[in-house]
Structures are given as structure tokens and as C-alpha cells.
Amino acid sequence: MSTLIVSAILMAVIIIPFLLMRSGIKKHEKELYAELADLAQKNSTEIGQYEVLKDIAVATDKSLEKLFFIHKNENLATTQTIDLGIFTTCQLEKAVKVIRMETGDRTIIEKISLLFKSADRKNQPITLELFNTDYDSLTLAGELQLAEKWAALINDRVKA
């Protein structure tokens, strides 16, 4: 019987930190979504498609006219609204550094951004930075896939 109690206590000690960490992540995601919804409301629209990844939240309104972006961590707080109607392309940009090693060259991604360009020169390009080793962690955690997905989605919209 005492072995069962010790085992249960040991399991609780191992599992509880993971549950608390997951709860904190879910709370942070809900906060980012609430900020997206607030940003959409300020622009007299509602959130359509959205995605939250760690410290990044990206969304479009239901009519795909506007893009809402939030990147928020302890080092950085960026909030931006983009009118998709004035842009003709969205490019995924990566800044990389090549490190030469005896076993071969290694490429390290330092920045990932989405660059919005317009055919009209009056409209300045806009860059949304999704990952930067200066502000974020040193390892990627889905930012590249997020950028690829949203660049494709936005390009489908702006070319339509």
C-alpha cells in the first residue's frame, strides 16, 4: 500500500509541472487572441482565419481585407494592421548566417520576416518580423512554417 502512495506522489511531482506549463501556454495564447480580436474590433471587423504560435499571433478579417499581427515577448511588443488591398505581393524573407566547420558548413537562420510590397511606389514596403535571434529564442519553433503558410495565404488573397 505504501508503494502505491509513494508512486502516486512521485507521478504527481512529475506530471504537475507539465500541466502548469501547458496551462500557462494556453493562457498566453488566449491573451494574444483577445488582443487580435480587440485589434479587429478597432478596425470595425471580426477575426476570420488566425493562428497563434508562442509569442506571435496572425489573423485576417473575415473578408480578407486586413491582416492583424502581434509579436510579443519580454524583449519586444509589436502590433500592426495591414490593409491587404494596397499590396501586390508578400514575400518570405530569411536572413541566414553560414558557419564554416570541419564537418561542413552550417546555415543558421537569424531572422524570418514577411515583406509586403505594392506596385504603387507611394506605398512603402512593410516588414513583419516573425523571428529574430536578437529578441527571440535561438531556436526555431514553427516560425518558418507559420511564415510559409501565411505568405501563401496572403499571396492568394492579393493576387485575386
Instruction: Kindly state the average pLDDT of the residues 17-31.
Output: 76
Q: Can you tell me the distance from the alpha carbon of 109 to that of 33, in angstroms, rounded to the nearest whole number?
A: 27
**Which one has a higher pLDDT value, 27 or 57?**
57
Q: Which three cell numbers stand for residue 146?
A: 507559420
pTM beyond 0.85, yes or no: no
Integer CA distances (angstroms), 153 to 35, 59, 130, 136, in order: 22, 11, 16, 24
Q: What is the pLDDT of residues 37-92, one digit of tens each?
A: 999 999 889 898 999 988 899 999 888 889 999 988 777 788 999 988 888 889 99
Neighbours of 160 (CB within 10 A): 6
Residue 21: pLDDT above 80? no
Domain boundaries, the chain: 2-159
Residue 160: pLDDT band (50, 70, 90) is low
The number of angstroms, rounded, from the C-alpha of 148 to the middle of its chain's C-alpha atoms is 11
